[in-house]
Amino acid sequence: MPAVTNRPINRKVVLVAHVTRMVGPEHFRIEEEPAREPGEGEVVVKTDTLSIDAFIRTSLNDEEGLHQQVPVGAAIVALGVGRVVESNAPGWDVGDAVSGPLCAQTYATLPTAMLQKIDPARPLSTYLGALGLTTGLTAYMGIRFVGEVKAGETVLVSGAAGAVGCMAAQIAKVLGARVIGLAGGSEKSAFLTGTLGLDGAIDYKGEDVDKRLKALAPDGIDVFFDNVGGELLDIALDNIRERGRVVICGAISQYNDQKHVRGPSLYLRLAERHARMEGFTVMHFAQHYGEAFAQLGQWLAEGRLTMPEQLEHGIDAFPGALRKLFEGGNIGKMLVKP
Ligand SMILES: NC(=O)c1ccc[n+]([C@@H]2O[C@H](COP(=O)([O-])OP(=O)(O)OC[C@H]3O[C@@H](n4cnc5c(N)ncnc54)[C@H](OP(=O)(O)O)[C@@H]3O)[C@@H](O)[C@H]2O)c1
């Protein structure tokens, strides 16, 4: 018989087998155990909300990929927000709101060095979406410092109805650019031109992207903010203007088969048009976190940015929510509330 404990029970999503293609229920199982007692300098956090990010998929391969790999038997990596329910760290009190790498579980025992205190006056999920490292901050760094978007320029964003894309498109609009979004399906196109107020939208699943892009931007595009890669990257390269910039934020179309990543075949357009292509991760711009955070917070308060949230409920919903990112099943930020 298991020992009786009065500790809170942690339910966590554990990796059962590495993933070679699409994630499915067969790759995960739920385990229960008492939440570990906090050591010196540690706290126990009760998870409020988890961020469903594309990078989670790239951490589930059987070999080194873009990110550190999750070992079989370990909890799935995930960023989250929550409240301290037990503290063994001076200055960290029960009730404090925090964000950090909580993993896909209902309670996390972590050193405070891995956590950040957040303002409980805002909905905590804001720190995963509009003000989140992997969402708002990523979009800000890519648009400002890699794409160097200027007023009057034409910007194309792929994955524009998703979390990063939706923020990148809106930030480019706030900076005075003309913005066209690429997304799958007519509902998402309507979201881009309606809710987000973009200047144009292309349904890459139902329309001839090159033809539509040439109609919407006959003089070409100055900046392509790419979340998707593959064929769409080639079409954008073909339409890039003199001195244009291609921002490689991600390539979600390639994450399910990273041994056979499709690279761009039209990269010589960069030479022809004195254009450049530059990749980045948000972590390369750590020196700008403070600025990005303050600026995004101000634009949010002014109502110039919006971040729709798609909430899935229960820790058991985590694997299905992750899969939805790869099937286009989300608009805005995908979150799980365990
Ligand atoms: N560089 C960085 O530091 C950094 C940080 C965070 C995220 N990222 C990158 O940002 C991108 C977006 O991530 P996110 O977490 O915000 O996810 P997201 O955009 O909220 O969700 C992913 C979206 O990608 C689209 N998609 C999925 N498979 C596709 C395919 N085969 N072809 C075309 N579109 C596809 C789907 O929309 P449709 O319905 O439109 O297909 C889906 O809704 C990812 O590439 C991610 O790796 C980079």
Measured from the Cβ of residue 59, the count of other Cβ atoms closer than 10 Å reads 18
Are 331 and 248 members of one domain?
Answer: no
Are 120 and 142 members of one domain?
Answer: no
Question: pTM score, two decimals?
Answer: 0.96
Question: For residue 131, what pLDDT band results from cuts at 50, 70 and 90?
Answer: very high
Q: What is the distance between the alpha carbons of residues 198 and 183, in angstroms, rounded to a whole number? A: 12
Q: Which atom of ligand 1 is nearest to the CA of 331?
A: 43
Confirm whether 36 is domain-assigned.
yes
Look at residue 3 in the predicted model and tell me its pLDDT: 58
Helices (H), the chain: 54-58, 138-141, 163-174, 186-193, 209-216, 231-238, 268-272, 289-301, 318-327
Look at residue 65 in the predicted model and tell me its pLDDT: 64
Are 219 and 245 members of one domain?
Answer: yes
Confirm whether 158 is domain-assigned.
yes
Confirm whether 290 is domain-assigned.
no
DSSP one-letter code for 239: T
Q: What is the distance between the alpha carbons of residues 21 and 257, in angstroms, rounded to a whole number? A: 6
Ligand 1: which of 227, 277, 282, 334 to mutate, judged by most atoms within 8 Å of the beta carbon? 227
Flag whether pLDDT at 92 surpasses 80: yes
Distance in Å, CA 281 to ligand 1 centroid: 14
* Residue 292 vs residues 11, 248, 298: alpha-carbon distances, Å: 34, 19, 10
Q: Please write the tens of the pLDDT for every residue from 275-320.
A: 999 999 999 999 999 999 999 999 999 999 999 999 999 999 999 9
Look at residue 134 in the predicted model and tell me its pLDDT: 97
Q: What is the dihedral of CA 37, 42, 43, 44, to 10 degrees?
A: -40
Confirm whether 235 is domain-assigned.
yes
Q: Which atom of ligand 1 is nearest to the CA of 281?
A: 3
Distance in Å, CA 7 to ligand 1 centroid: 38
Question: For residue 2, what pLDDT band results from cuts at 50, 70 and 90?
Answer: low
Q: What is the overall mean pLDDT for the chain?
A: 96
Backbone Cα Rg of the chain: 21
Q: Please write the tens of the pLDDT for every residue from 138-166.
A: 999 999 999 999 999 999 999 999 999 99
Look at residue 68 in the predicted model and tell me its pLDDT: 80
CA triple 151-293-139, angle to 5 deg: 50
Backbone angles phi, psi at 309, to 5 degrees: -115, 135
Ligand 1: which of 23, 55, 228, 278 to mutate, judged by most atoms within 8 Å of the beta carbon? 228
Flag whether pLDDT at 4 surpasses 80: no
Distance in Å, CA 43 to ligand 1 centroid: 33
Distance in Å, CA 253 to ligand 1 centroid: 8
Are 28 and 62 members of one domain?
Answer: yes
Q: Which atom of ligand 1 is nearest to the CA of 141?
A: 3
- Residue nearest atom 9 in ligand 1 by C-alpha distance: 250
Are 271 and 312 members of one domain?
Answer: no
Distance in Å, CA 160 to ligand 1 centroid: 9
- Residue nearest atom 13 in ligand 1 by C-alpha distance: 54
Distance in Å, CA 10 to ligand 1 centroid: 30
HSE of 46, CA atoms in CB hemisphere, 13 A: 11
Q: What is the distance between the alpha carbons of residues 80 and 99, in angstroms, rounded to a whole number? A: 6
Look at residue 74 in the predicted model and tell me its pLDDT: 94
DSSP one-letter code for 317: G
Are 143 and 274 members of one domain?
Answer: yes
Confirm whether 85 is domain-assigned.
yes
Are 280 and 138 members of one domain?
Answer: yes
In the chain, at which residue ranges do the beta strands (DSSP E only) sit?
Answer: 9-15, 28-34, 42-51, 80-87, 97-100, 107-111, 116-117, 154-157, 178-183, 200-203, 221-226, 240-248, 276-279, 309-313, 333-337
Confirm whether 289 is domain-assigned.
no
Distance in Å, CA 86 to ligand 1 centroid: 36
Give the mean model confidence (pLDDT) for residues 40-53: 98
Are 260 and 152 members of one domain?
Answer: yes
Confirm whether 103 is domain-assigned.
yes
Are 122 and 157 members of one domain?
Answer: no
Are 149 and 255 members of one domain?
Answer: yes
- Residue nearest atom 35 in ligand 1 by C-alpha distance: 253
Ligand 1: which of 53, 157, 252 to mutate, judged by most atoms within 8 Å of the beta carbon? 252
Assign residue 46 the CATH number of its domain: 3.90.180.10
Assign residue 148 the CATH number of its domain: 3.40.50.720
Pocket-forming residues, ligand 1, beta carbon under 6 Å:
53-55, 134, 138, 159, 161-165, 183-184, 188, 227-228, 249-253, 280-282, 325-326, 328, 330, 334
Confirm whether 125 is domain-assigned.
yes
Give the mean model confidence (pLDDT) for residues 205-228: 98
Distance in Å, CA 54 to ligand 1 centroid: 6
Domain count within the chain = 2
Are 139 and 273 members of one domain?
Answer: yes
Are 189 and 332 members of one domain?
Answer: no
Q: Which atom of ligand 1 is nearest to the CA of 54?
A: 15
Question: For residue 63, what pLDDT band results from cuts at 50, 70 and 90?
Answer: confident
Look at residue 6 in the predicted model and tell me its pLDDT: 86
Distance in Å, CA 227 to ligand 1 centroid: 5
Domain enclosing residue 239, as ranges: 133-284
